[in-house]
Structure formats: C-alpha cells, structure tokens
Structure 1
Amino acid sequence: MPLITSIRRAVRRSYRRAVDLSHPARSPLGSSVVNCVVYREGARQYGDGDVEDALRRVRKAGDGFVWIGLHEPEQEEFTDLAELFGLHRLAIEDAVHEHPRPKVARYDDMLFAVFKTVCYVAHAELTATSEVVDTGELIAFVGADFVITIRHGGHGSLGPLREALEADPEQLAKGPAAVLHALADHVVDEYLAVTDAVQGDIEVVENAVFSEDSGRGDAGRIYQVKRELLELKRAVAPLDRPLHQLATQPMPVIGPEIRAYFRDVADHLTRATEQLTAYDALLDSILQAHLAQVTVAQNEDMRKITAWAAIVAIPTMVCGVYGMNFDHMPELHWTYGYPLVLSVIAAACFVIHRGFRRNGWL
C-alpha cells in the first residue's frame, strides 16, 4: 500500500528530528496525513506513528482508539486507509469530495459526519467586494476503536482541539464519541465567534446609512454583508437536524451519556441560528432604510431642479417676448425701458427664489 509505505518512511525520518504533528502546515506522515495518535484510558500513547501498527495495537489490547487526522487527501491515498479500517465503499467518495450540506450517516457500526467550518476574514475596511466569511469542511469517520478526521479548506486546524482533549483525560476516556462531540462543539463555537464578528460589520453599514454624510454607495456594502451572511447561514442552519439525531436517536458508538453533551451543542447551534436570523432581518431593514433615503434624496434633487427651472423660466419668457422684434412694444423707445425690464425680471426671480427657500425646495 503506497500510503502505508510512505508513512513508515516518514516516521523513520522523524526519529532524526522533532516534528510538531499537530501543526496544519506540517505533514511528516504523508502528503495528507497530519497526525496519528493512539489513546488509551484518556492518555496519549507515544509510539512510532505507524497507522497499521497503531490500529493493530488498539485491537489487540481491546481498549483505546486511534485518531488519524488528514487534510484534503486524494482518492487514491484515502483508498488505502479505507481498506485498512474497513470503511464502507461509499465512504471513499464521501471523504474526498465536498458536500453541500452538513449531515450524519450510518454505515453499519460506523458513523459518518460532515460539518461545515467557518472562519471570519479580517479586513481593514469593509467594501462592496470584501470577503467576510470563509467556509471549509470537516469530515469525521467514527468507529468503536478509531476516529478519522478530514479537513477541507485552509482553516480549522484541529491541533488546539486535540491538545484541549488531551488536557481532559476523563472526557477523552469516553472514547471516539467524546472526540465527535468535541468536533461538533468546536465547529459550533466557531459559528458563534464568526456570528459575533459579523455583527461588527453590520454595525458599520448601519452607522454609515444613518450618518449625515451617508452616500449612495452603501448599498454595495449592504449587499456584500448580506451575501456573506447567507453563506454563513448555509453552513449553520442545516446542522440542526444532524445534531438533533446525535442528541436524541440511538447511534453506533454514541452512548446515552454522550447524547446529553450533544444536546448542549444543539442549544448553542440554536443560539447561532437565531442570531443569524435576527441579523438577516436587520440587514433587510437597513437596506430598506437606505433605499428610502436614496428616494428622498432623489426627490430633493428633483425639487431643486424644478425650482431653478421655474426661476429661469421668467427671464426666458420676458426675453422671448422682446425677442420677437415688434416695433410697438412697451417702453421700447424709452431710454429707461431696458433697465426697467431687467429690474422686473430680477425682482420676479428674487420673489420666486425666496418662496422656494421658504418652502424648503432650495
């Protein structure tokens, strides 16, 4: 098996230098394998990191489990691992291709779970093209004595999560189900963190819309935040049903004690979903307010144009009459006739201008 052979060669090289296996950018066990660790009674068992040997030791001892972490494996690579762990044939295709929605599926005595991961993209200034939310995917195969996690995307490293679990041996001793709960809890916590961060962008566009110097270009930023919020909702909302299944329905590997933990995660997910729904409604209100402001501004512009057109119409009318070159016109041959007409035009324009100013048209 090419993957197993590459793992053994990489492990032999790792003896000559210290390597941080939990770091997402380093993969000494192969091109996609990030980590391979055996846990027994909640404690990490240090060994040579060989996947085949780790699984054999766990099954020979009859207790403990092996946790293998991968990052974007190719189908040929994962085929070897699937054969080693006896995964269902459909699992190979599911592991290497991204899924449109989170889900939980049962393959014999194994659970297959898909979570959508999210990450807030920091930006110096919110624009109409700013990326706010980046999404990825976390896949977990959970059996009686193994956990296989697969990440898709450039974020969502599980190194800190693994360290937190290792710091709580009592929880980790509950087996692979405890790892699945920790994964779900980690993903939902990220939902809450990103949701809180997005609130800051919503406040930015809200303040811009209701500020005195708000511009008509704010619509682009509102649509961008709404589009990114929609992407976040697509990751968060569909997870409700899978978590409900894990919390209430009998599942392989998941005991009654762990189901109570999943109910707590489901409560957190409900909070995130409610926040996103409220933010979406708020953005709709902000957009409607912005469009109303644009309409009012356009009406004010039209009133100003109409007022100036009315003022200009007076000299246009008078000059048009005198431009007909009739011989018998009022005061035509009078010395002060021309200044008198100009004075009448100026007085009429002043009166109309003052009336428009008084009515708020100018």
Structure 2
Amino acid sequence: MTNSLKLRSAQPNGTPGVVASAVYLRGRRVADIPIEEAGDWSRKPGHVVWIGVHEPSLDLLRHLQAEFGLHDLAIEDALKAHQRPKLEQYGDALFVVARTAQMLDRRIAFGETHLFAGRGYVVSVRHGASTSYTPVRARCEAAPAALSDGEDFILYAILDFIVDNYMPVIEAIQSEVEPIEDSILTEAPTETHVRRLYQLRRDLLRLRNAAVPLVEVCRRLEQPGLPGIDASMYPHFRDVSDHIRRVQEEIESLREVLAFAFETCLMTGQAQQTEITRKLAAWAAILAVPTAVAGIYGMNFEVIPELRWRYGYALVLTAIISVCGWLYWRFRQNRWL
C-alpha cells in the first residue's frame, strides 16, 4: 500500500468548506481522509468515499473534480447554486440538485444541495439555509448493513432527509395560521394579519416549486439504466416520491386555507368600510335637516316668514328635532345606526 493510502486519521475540517470526509468499507467507517486522498480511496474495490462540503470555493470544487473526474458543467452548477431541482447524468456519474427549506425568523429560508454520485464516492455540496447532514451520516453509520449498499443508499438517505425536513416547515406555518384564522372570525382583521397571510402564501408557493420537481428526480432514479443505482433501491426512491407527494398535498391544502383566510380578511375589511360608510351617510342625512333649516333662516332677507312671531324659534326647533328623531329611528330600523 502506498503512503497516500495509509490508514490514518485526518482532519477534514482543516480544509475550508469541508464538513466531513470519510471512507467506508462494507458499511463501516474506515478512516477520515483528506481531500487529496479521496480519489485513491474511491478506486479501491468495495470502498465508498463520502464527502460533505458547505459553500465551497472554486478551488475546493476543482480539487474534488480532479479527484473524481467530475464534469465541468456540474462543477459550474455547484458553484453558482441557483439551480432548479434536477437529475443529470455525466457518463458514469450522477449529478442531483435539490432545494432545502427551513424556518428562520418566521420566514421560509431556502438553500440548495448538490449531490455528485459515482462509483466509489458521494459528494454533497450545501449552499444557503440547510440543516447539516451530520444526522444522516450518523444514522447511516448506525445501520452498516444498509450503508453497505453503497453510493445509491447514501444518495437516498440524503434525499429522504431533505424531503422529511419540509414537514417541520409546513407544521410551523400551520401552527401560525390556525390562530390567525380563528381571530379573523372573532375580531376585526388587522393590516398585520393581511400582510402576514400574503407572505405565507408566497413562501408556500416557493416551497411547492422547490419540492414538487423532486418527484421527477426520484421517478428517474426508480427507472433502470442509471449507473450505480441498484434495483433493490427502487422502492426506497419510490418511498421518497410518496413523501414528496404528501408534502405537495399538505402545501396545497394549506394554501387553500390561507386563500380562504386572506379573502375573509378582505371581505371583512370591505364589510367594515361599508358599515362605516352607512353610518356616516345616516348621520349626514340627519344633520342635513337642521343645516338646511338654519341656512334658510340665516339668509339676510328683509321679509322672512314668522320673523316677528313669538313662538317661531320653538316651532322651528320642535320641527327640526322631530324630523331628526324620525330619521334616526328609521335608520336604526334599517340597521344603519
């Protein structure tokens, strides 16, 4: 065995951007290795190198490209990190893009994960808001029999973890929407409610656009012909597809609830405006009576009816009060006041 392949403990985190870098044999960790030795280990029969990096630099991606022979287009996509979920095949290697999501400051923060999978290696590249895949690695290492299936099982485990993390986001939104929905039916909606409902609807649409394309990715992984994907893994990828469809159903259901709540807010606001308009119109009609009478008697004409009549003021005031009282009663009857 050459010196470069000697079994030794490495410090992957010493390389900026590298979260973990290990080699496995029959589902058990053999060693933590530096990036410079990853290619040699991946070419050893039965060995699988699993590397996780976070927001890597171009130099780090070039190192990974040199070790595993990654395609230039895949490297370019992994560096830009603004890709739609997809599956690309480059020779005997697969390149998978998935969108991640998590709640940060009451908003859905999105990130990306790019997965390179080929004979003897899996490289995960994380960008933006994304939960660490350390729990995935720990779960796989706790089940060496399953991990011994190789690269396709690691690919499945990461995709399954990404999809499972959509549900806490949906549950967080559900727990926030329900109190808002209840308050809308019992009290007047505020501008804050309307703004928040609009934000949640927009975030859910973005979550749907991030999750649903993974159905097509998993469908392709279920079909024969892709390198490195054994037929025994097809049910696992089918299970991920089922989870995504469930996520899609939950999103659609929640968007309907938000649409109902949003429309209820708007209709309630319009009803309140109509109520206020009616009250203002009713009071304007009532006040128009004394205004009109006072306006007539306020004109500076020399001859005014009942100008010198002793009971003129009393009669006019009584007439004004009577008419205003009758109008008030009528408006109350019609529920305008």
Tell me the amino acid that sits aligned with residue 261 of structure 1. Answer: H
Q: Offset of 1:342 from its aligned partner?
A: 1.5
Q: Offset of 1:41 from its aligned partner?
A: 0.6
Q: Secondary structure at the match of 1:46?
A: strand
Q: Gapped runs of 5+ residues in structure 2?
A: 1-8
Out of 94, 105, 108, the residue aligned to residue 91 of structure 2 is 108
Tell me the amino acid that sits aligned with residue 160 of structure 1. Answer: P
Q: 1:291 to 1:148 in 2, by over 3 A?
A: same
Does the CA contact (< 8 Å) of 2:18 and 2:52 recur in 1? Answer: yes
Does the CA contact (< 8 Å) of 2:218 and 2:241 recur in 1? Answer: yes
Does the CA contact (< 8 Å) of 2:83 and 2:97 recur in 1? Answer: no
Q: TM-score, normalised by structure 2?
A: 0.92
2:41 aligned with 1:53: no
CA distance in 1, matches of 2:249, 2:214: 13
Q: Gapped runs of 5+ residues in structure 1?
A: 1-10, 15-20, 22-26, 124-131
CA distance in 1, matches of 2:229, 2:315: 100
- Partner deviation per Cα, 1:240-297 (whole Å, 9 max, x = no partner): 1111111234311111111110001100100001111122222222222222112211
Give 2:250's aligned residue: 275
Give 2:19's aligned residue: 34
2:140 aligned with 1:165: yes
2:280 aligned with 1:297: no
2:220 aligned with 1:245: yes
CA distance in 2, matches of 1:154, 1:271: 23
Q: Offset of 1:102 from its aligned partner?
A: 0.5
Out of 99, 117, 123, the residue aligned to residue 100 of structure 2 is 117
Tell me the amino acid that sits aligned with residue 260 of structure 1. Answer: P
Moved more, 111-120 or 206-215: 206-215
Q: Secondary structure at the match of 2:52?
A: strand
Moved more, 247-256 or 311-320: 247-256
CA distance in 2, matches of 1:278, 1:55: 47
- Partner deviation per Cα, 1:275-330 (whole Å, 9 max, x = no partner): 11122222222222222112211111111111011101100111122122445444
Give 1:133's aligned residue: 108
Cα-Cα RMSD: 1.9
CA distance in 1, matches of 2:175, 2:55: 32
Q: Offset of 1:50 from its aligned partner?
A: 2.4
CA distance in 2, matches of 1:195, 1:217: 21
CA distance in 2, matches of 1:228, 1:51: 38
Q: Offset of 1:197 from its aligned partner?
A: 1.6
CA distance in 1, matches of 2:102, 2:197: 20
Identical aligned residues as a percent: 38
What does 1:143-154 correspond to in 2, within 5 Å? 143-154=118-129
Tell me the amino acid that sits aligned with residue 116 of structure 1. Answer: R
Does the CA contact (< 8 Å) of 1:208 and 1:218 recur in 2? Answer: no
Tell me the amino acid that sits aligned with residue 160 of structure 2. Answer: D
Tell me the amino acid that sits aligned with residue 42 of structure 1. Answer: G
CA distance in 2, matches of 1:351, 1:216: 38
Tell me the amino acid that sits aligned with residue 184 of structure 1. Answer: L
Q: Secondary structure at the match of 2:70?
A: coil
Out of 58, 62, 74, the residue aligned to residue 75 of structure 1 is 58
Q: Secondary structure at the match of 1:214?
A: coil
CA distance in 2, matches of 1:284, 1:198: 14
- Partner deviation per Cα, 1:117-143 (whole Å, 9 max, x = no partner): 1001254xxxxxxxx200001111001
Out of 292, 315, 319, the residue aligned to residue 340 of structure 1 is 315
- Partner deviation per Cα, 1:41-63 (whole Å, 9 max, x = no partner): 1111135x223334424423x11
